[in-house]
């Protein structure tokens, strides 16, 4: 009995779980290196990140600020997801050359397509600058003043730290403001589209399969980095040449098996792993249901029209996908939170935390932090809820409201910054409207408006809803606005925006749609936003203290990783299946068989190209099959999040084995709590990518640029020998 208790106590000692984590690549030596080697990695920390010699990090650029990518040839060939290159692929497409539908493969370098405005960024060096950034903050009289000093110090670090002419310095914040890192980076601006499979491969399964396993998506596209004659970043020019990378990833033809080590290297965007239980409770019980509920009505209305009208289906495909993406994620996130009992687990950790605070005699510093959180979150609740209802309704899901809100901001620009700024902003807006109204259908939007405003008026904390909106019949309101407002078409809106600033504003204010939006926006700016921001600041300051306490109270080797913040990170794990619910077990690898099983001819989600079906029937898989079958996707225990799309999945030796693109539904609560039992990331098998490039697209010239390797050749020889020995 005693023994068991002791064991439980020891087990409970680390404040946070034993797996997961997104680690800073320059700080892997020690604990992470040991863990990775224990999982089977054959490299050293220095092979992953080094300033003195080329290392893996030199092959992993941030892709256009949002996704991740990797260099896979000595000529600057870059691999990322299809959904990351989607905008570029779309921008080169027309009805005659629909690269989204048919795919695109540049026959030679001269056929590669330029993408003005696009960039990829390499990390040259990472340095801890915490001391410099926190200098003279101890004496700050308020949180605001403290933040001001920090901003000034950051600026000074950026300006005074050495760099080459073509490089940039940036400082990022870690551990809620307890650590600061300087990133010296190099940004390339001539990035050309090289290849993309058709959407029926690259987006196979679309929204139905999004966030789910088993998955069968060839979510990849290819680009190339171009540099000037000195191999330095340069604006687009015909004279530019393919970039020679410091490092590029060889690609393994041996694939992965269950339990194999994997490392995912990339730029995860944002996570919140150290929130108190009260924050998780509020998120899952109040905020997520609100956002889910509102998006649900918007999606439902759009879907009705998309199903019966082909044109609307095309017009709304991308908007629908983007609303559906997080709608679906939040549902999965809430399920995972429940299944793992994150609130209960956090409460246990908090008990342990308080015990340690007491044991260390730190009650004065941290004794009240958890009750302060309770109080702050209770006060924050309604503002946060209102903030979410407002942004989901007025900034996101109803197009007329979103456009009208931008016009409201235009009016502010005139008041605050004068006529010239107004004119510039107006031109800009008109350009944006011109392209967005192409995909606008007033009758779809009208229905969405009616349903969303109904939810908004009924579910928004009532103290923030104006009495006339409460009383007004929503169907009537909708009809009035959509009959009379100029915001329902580009033509009428353009006409309304003609004239000098004063005239435009006068006309705008007479517009029924605009007047409605302005009224709601003003209420939001007066009643919600200031209090929301104040509370946010207070909670952030508490969170910073809590983080500091966790760092101080945890043992030296505790696995306390910083939240994702868009900077380069390493996460590692193993290829592993999982059990999503009772009696169900999911294997970790899918195959082309599954594509054929899901295939529905001409379906917008599950169609597949005939060439692919022919290759399947002929089992014409080249060098890329595994035991006669073509692997497509696999899952693992790597802790990833949004921004990790396009991240390389690297084997024990430093070769590319896959391409990260999603997570499994039940495990998406890993943004707040990573559970090794059900959190899995989803990757495309590198062999499927090679197969599509080679066998499907016949782009063998691209394969010839790459370095294909057989890292397991040795293992297999050993295994075979053993087998022979055993059977003798």
Residues that bind ligand GLU (CB under 6 A): 640-645, 661-663
* Cα three-residue angle 591-595-601, rounded to 5 degrees: 165
Q: Which is nearer to ligand ARG, 56 or 635 (CB)?
A: 635
Nearer to ligand GLU, 261 or 665 (CB): 665
Indicate which of ligand GLU, ligand ARG, none lies near residue 210 (CB less than 5 to 8 Å, by partner kind): ligand ARG
666 near ligand ARG, judged by CB under 6 A: no
* Residue pointed to by tokens 């050293």: 44
Q: Which long-range contacts (CB under 8 A, 24 or more apart) does 314-323 make?
A: 315/438, 315/439, 315/440, 315/441, 316/439, 316/441, 316/444, 317/604, 318/439, 319/439, 320/207, 321/206, 321/207, 321/210, 323/295, 323/298, 323/299, 323/396, 323/397
Task: Closer to ligand GLU by CB, 196 or 414: give it.
Answer: 196
Total residues contacting ligand ARG by CB under 6 A comes to 10
Selected from 198, 642, 654, 658, the binder of ligand ARG by CB under 6 A is 642
Q: Would you say how long the chain is, in residues?
A: 728
Q: Which is nearer to ligand ARG, 67 or 539 (CB)?
A: 67
Q: Which of 63, 211, 387, 440 binds ligand ARG (CB under 6 A)?
A: 211
- Of 26 and 640, CB closest to ligand GLU: 640
3-class secondary structure for 244-277? CCCCCCCEECCCCCCCCEEEEEECCCCCCCCCCH
- Judged by beta carbon, residue 404 or residue 667, the one nearer ligand GLU is 667
Task: Give dist(CA 200, CA 384) in Å, integer.
Answer: 40
Q: Do residues 644 and 267 lie in contact, with contact meaning Cβ atoms separated by under 8 Å? A: yes
Catalytic-role residue among 645, 647, 670, 679: 645
Cα–Cα dist 11/693, whole Å: 49
**Of 508, 151, 535, nearest to 373 (Cα)?**
535
Q: If you write DSSP's letter for every residue of 398-440 in order, what string do you get?
A: -HHHHHHHHHHHHHHHHHHH-HHHHHHHHHHHHHHHHHHGGG-
291: left (phi over 0), alpha (psi -120 to 50) or beta: alpha
Q: Give the residue, chosen from 57, 83, 474, 535, that forms a contact with ligand ARG under the rule CB under 6 A.
A: 83
Q: Is 83 a catalytic residue?
A: yes
645 is annotated as an active-site residue: yes
58, 209, 219, 675: the active-site residue: 219
Angle at the Cα of 587 from the Cα atoms of 585 and 593, rounded to 5 degrees: 125
25 binds, among ligand ARG, ligand GLU, none (CB under 5 to 8 A by kind): none
User: Of the ranges 207-215, 437-445, 510-518, 556-564, which one interacts with ligand ARG (CB under 6 A)?
Assistant: 207-215
Q: Report strand pairing: 589-591 vs 631-636.
A: antiparallel
Q: Least Å distance between CB 269 and ligand GLU? A: 7
Cβ at position 633, least distance to ligand ARG in Å: 13
Name the pairing type of β-strands 578-581 and 584-586.
antiparallel
- Quote the CA–CA distance of 431 and 408 in Å, as a whole number: 17
List the single partner that 403 binds among ligand ARG, ligand GLU, none, CB under 5 to 8 Å by kind: none
492/388 Cα distance (integer angstroms): 30
Which of ligand GLU, ligand ARG, none interacts with 206 (beta carbon under 5 to 8 A by kind)?
Answer: ligand ARG
CB of 600 to ligand GLU, least distance (A): 24
Spatial distance between the Cα atoms of 195 and 173, rounded to a whole number of angstroms = 36
Say whether residue 91 binds ligand ARG (CB under 6 A): no
User: What is the smallest separation between the CB atom of 201 and ligand GLU, expressed in angstroms?
Assistant: 17
As measured in angstroms, the least distance from the Cβ of 451 to ligand GLU is 28
Given the rule CB under 6 A, which of 14-22, 72-80, 88-96, 202-210 is the region that contacts ligand ARG? 202-210
- Residue 643: name its binding partner from ligand GLU, ligand ARG, none (Cβ under 5 to 8 Å by kind): ligand GLU
Distance in angstroms (rounded) separating the CA atoms of residues 627 and 271: 39
| Cα 480 from chain centroid (whole Å) | 39
Nearer to ligand ARG, 178 or 325 (CB): 325
Neighbours of 450 (CB within 10 A): 20
Of residues 447, 401, 443, the one with CA closest to residue 300:
447
Q: Cα dist. 478→389, 395, 399, 400, 447 in Å? A: 18, 18, 13, 11, 8
- For 94, half-sphere exposure in the C-beta direction (CA atoms, 13 angstrom radius) is 2
If the CB atoms of residues 67 and 709 are measured against ligand ARG, the closer one turns out to be 67
Closer residue to ligand ARG, CB minimum distance, 64 or 645: 645
Which of ligand ARG, ligand GLU, none interacts with 161 (beta carbon under 5 to 8 A by kind)?
A: none
Q: How far is the CB of 646 from ligand GLU (least distance, A)?
A: 7
CB of 68 to ligand ARG, least distance (A): 12
CA distance 677 to 665: 13
Minimum distance from CB of 245 to ligand GLU (Å)? Answer: 23
Query: Would you give the DSSP letter of residue 625?
Result: -
Q: Among residues 50, 206, 288, 315, which is the contact residue for ligand ARG, using CB under 6 A?
A: 206
Which of ligand ARG, ligand GLU, none interacts with 321 (beta carbon under 5 to 8 A by kind)?
A: ligand ARG
| Shortest distance, position 669 Cβ to ligand GLU, whole Å | 12
Is 325 an interacting residue with respect to ligand ARG (CB under 6 A)?
yes
Of the candidates 354, 382, 352, 384, the one whose C-alpha atom is nearest the C-alpha of residue 369 is 354
| Stretch touching ligand ARG by CB under 6 A, among 159-167, 205-213, 472-480, 630-638 | 205-213
- Interface pick for ligand ARG out of 70, 207, 333, 382 (rule CB under 6 A): 207
Least distance CB 67 / ligand GLU (angstroms): 6
Task: Select which of 50, 73, 82, 83 is catalytic.
Answer: 83
Q: What is the residue-wise DSSP string for 7-44?
A: HHHHHH-SSS-SS---B-GGG-TTHHHHHHHHTT--S-
Q: What are phi and psi of 620, to 5 degrees?
A: -90, 80
Q: Does 662 bind ligand ARG (CB under 6 A)?
A: yes
Is 260 an interacting residue with respect to ligand ARG (CB under 6 A)? no
Name the residue nearer to ligand GLU (CB basis): 199 or 640: 640
Q: Does 210 bind ligand ARG (CB under 6 A)?
A: yes
- Answer with the entry of ligand GLU, ligand ARG, none that 318 interacts with (C-beta below 5 to 8 A by kind): none
| Nearer residue to ligand ARG within complex by CB, 636 or 642 | 642
Angle between helices 419-436 and 399-417 (to 10 degrees): 170
Contact call for residue 137 and ligand ARG (CB under 6 A): no
User: Cβ 641 to ligand ARG, closest distance in Å?
Assistant: 9
Rule CB under 6 A: which residues touch ligand ARG?
83, 206-207, 210-211, 321, 325, 642, 645, 662
Active site residues: 83, 219, 645
């Amino acid at each position: 009995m005693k023994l068991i208790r002791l064991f439980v106590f020891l087990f409970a000692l680390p404040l946070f779980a034993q797996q997961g984590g997104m680690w800073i690549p320059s700080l892997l030596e020690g604990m992470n290196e040991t863990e990775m080697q224990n999982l089977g990695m054959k490299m050293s920390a220095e092979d992953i990140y080094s300033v003195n010699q080329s290392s893996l990090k030199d092959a992993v650029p941030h892709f256009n600020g949002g996704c991740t990518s990797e260099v896979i040839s000595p000529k600057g060939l870059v691999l990322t997801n299809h959904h990351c290159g989607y905008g570029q692929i779309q921008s080169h497409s027309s009805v005659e050359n629909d690269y989204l539908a048919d795919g695109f493969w540049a026959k030679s370098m001269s056929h590669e397509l330029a993408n003005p405005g696009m960039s990829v960024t390499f990390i040259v060096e990472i340095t801890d600058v915490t001391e410099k950034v926190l200098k003279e903050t101890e004496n700050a009289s308020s949180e605001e003043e403290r933040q001001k000093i920090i901003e000034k110090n950051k600026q000074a670090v950026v300006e005074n730290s050495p760099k080459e002419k073509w490089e940039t310095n940036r400082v990022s914040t870690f551990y809620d403001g307890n650590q600061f890192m300087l990133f010296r980076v190099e940004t390339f601006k001539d990035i050309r589209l090289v290849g993309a499979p058709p959407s029926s491969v690259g987006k196979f399964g679309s929204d139905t399969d999004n966030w789910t396993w088993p998955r069968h998506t060839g979510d990849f596209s290819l680009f190339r980095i171009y540099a000037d004659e000195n191999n330095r970043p340069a604006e687009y020019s015909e004279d530019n040449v393919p970039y020679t990378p410091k490092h590029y990833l060889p690609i393994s033809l041996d694939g992965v098996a269950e339990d194999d080590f994997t490392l995912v290297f990339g730029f995860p965007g944002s996570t919140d792993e150290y929130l108190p239980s009260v924050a998780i409770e509020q998120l899952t019980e109040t905020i997520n249901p609100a956002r889910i509920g509102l998006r649900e009505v918007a999606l439902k209305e759009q879907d009705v029209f998309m199903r019966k009208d082909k044109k609307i289906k095309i017009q709304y495909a991308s908007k629908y996908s983007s609303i559906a993406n997080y709608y679906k994620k939040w549902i999965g996130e809430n399920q995972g939170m429940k299944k793992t009992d994150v609130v209960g687990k956090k409460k246990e950790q908090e008990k342990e935390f308080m015990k340690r605070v007491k044991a260390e005699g730190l009650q004065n510093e941290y004794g009240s932090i958890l009750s302060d959180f309770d109080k702050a979150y209770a006060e924050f609740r309604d503002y946060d809820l209102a903030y979410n209802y407002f942004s989901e309704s007025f900034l996101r899901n109803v197009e007329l409201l979103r456009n009208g809100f931008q016009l409201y901001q235009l009016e502010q620009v005139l008041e605050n910054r004068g006529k010239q700024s107004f004119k510039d902003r107006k031109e800009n807006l008109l350009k944006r409207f011109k392209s967005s109204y192409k995909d606008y259908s007033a009758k779809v939007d009208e229905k969405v408006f009616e349903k969303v405003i109904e939810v908004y008026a009924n579910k928004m904390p009532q103290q923030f809803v104006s009495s006339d909106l409460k009383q007004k019949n929503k169907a009537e309101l909708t009809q009035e606005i959509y009959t009379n407002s100029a915001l329902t078409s580009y033509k009428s809106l353009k006409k309304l925006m003609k004239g000098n600033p004063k005239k435009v504003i006068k006309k705008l204010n007479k517009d029924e749609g605009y007047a409605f939006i302005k009224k709601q926006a003003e209420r939001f700016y007066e009643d919600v936003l200031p209090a929301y921001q104040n509370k946010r600041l207070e909670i952030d300051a508490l969170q910073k203290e809590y983080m500091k306490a966790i760092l101080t109270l945890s043992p030296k080797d505790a696995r306390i990783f910083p939240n994702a913040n868009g900077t380069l990170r390493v996460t590692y794990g193993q290829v592993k299946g999982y059990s999503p619910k009772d009696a169900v077990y999911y294997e970790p690898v899918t195959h082309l068989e599954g594509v054929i099983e899901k295939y529905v001819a001409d379906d917008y989600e599950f169609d597949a190209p005939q060439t692919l079906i022919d290759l399947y029937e002929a089992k014409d898989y080249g060098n890329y099959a595994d035991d006669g079958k073509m692997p497509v996707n696999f899952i693992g225990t790597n802790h990833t999040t949004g921004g990790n799309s396009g991240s390389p999945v690297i084997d024990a030796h430093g070769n590319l084995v896959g391409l990260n693109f999603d997570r499994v539904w039940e495990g998406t609560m890993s943004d707040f709590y990573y559970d090794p039992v059900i959190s899995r990331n989803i990757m495309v098998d590198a062999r499927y990518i090679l197969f599509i490039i080679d066998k499907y697209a016949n782009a063998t010239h691209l394969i010839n640029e790459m370095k294909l390797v057989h890292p397991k050749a040795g293992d297999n020889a050993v295994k075979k020998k053993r087998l022979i020995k055993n059977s003798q």
